[in-house]
Amino acid sequence: MSAEAADREAVTSSRPCTPPQTIWFEFLLDEGMLEKHLQKSYPDPSPIQLINQFLEQASKPSVNEQNQVQPPTDNKRNRTLKLLALKVAAHLKWDLELLEKSLTVPVLNMLLNELLCVSKVPPGVKHVDLDLCSLPPTTTMAVLVYNRWAVRTTVQSSFPVKQLKPGPPQLNMTSAFCNDSVA
């Protein structure tokens, strides 16, 4: 073996192997895998990516024999994916600030609606009319989280977003003055 080939071999064998990224469907196959994955210091994919992947897969429309797009079916696979997304959000302790920064409004809406469904919020009753004291704690938490998010989203959407002006970046006059005085 030449010296060059030996050097190449030494470099490649000394590099740490990066484990392959876990794919969303692997969590369907192994029930305990999600908890183990979330306990890692830097899980790949991240919890937010997992929520996105689980809900994206659960909401994929299907195509029938006549090539017509059908809404997602309510089957065991899709229900399990939604539950996995809820478990990941629970692992994040339902941190609304993090969820709002990381997920789009439609995805977060889907996640929170799913939380309301599994928490057994009485159907057809407005949240205003619910007696929170008479509900189980998990149902109360779901209603409170959903309504906190709804109010926060409504308030945030009512403020105009400052648009960046096109063109060259603006020079900060204070830093330009300080740099000139030093020179």
pLDDT in tens, 93-143: 999 999 999 999 999 999 999 999 898 887 777 877 788 888 889 888 998
**Which has the closest alpha carbon to 72: 131, 114, 37?**
114
Q: Name the average pLDDT for the chain.
A: 79
Looking at residue 102, its pLDDT comes to: 94
Looking at residue 108, its pLDDT comes to: 95
Query: How is the chain classified by DSSP, letter by letter?
Result: --HHHHHHHHHHHHSPPPPPPPPTTHHHH-TTHHHHHHHSSS-SS-HHHHHHHHHHHHT--EE-TTS-EEPPP--HHHHHHHHHHHHHHHHTTT-HHHHHHHS-HHHHHHHHHHHHHHTTPPTT--GGG--GGGS-HHHHHHHHHHHHHHHHHHHHHHSPPPPPPSSSPPP-HHHHHHHHHH-
Q: In terms of pLDDT, which residue wins out, 31 or 11?
A: 31
CB-CB neighbours of 100 under 10 Å: 15
Average pLDDT on 148-172 reads 76
**For residues 38-74, b (16+ Cβ closer than 10 Å) or e, as one string?**
beeeebeeebbebbbbbbebbeeeeeeeeeeeeeeee
Evaluate if residue 182 carries a pLDDT over 60: no
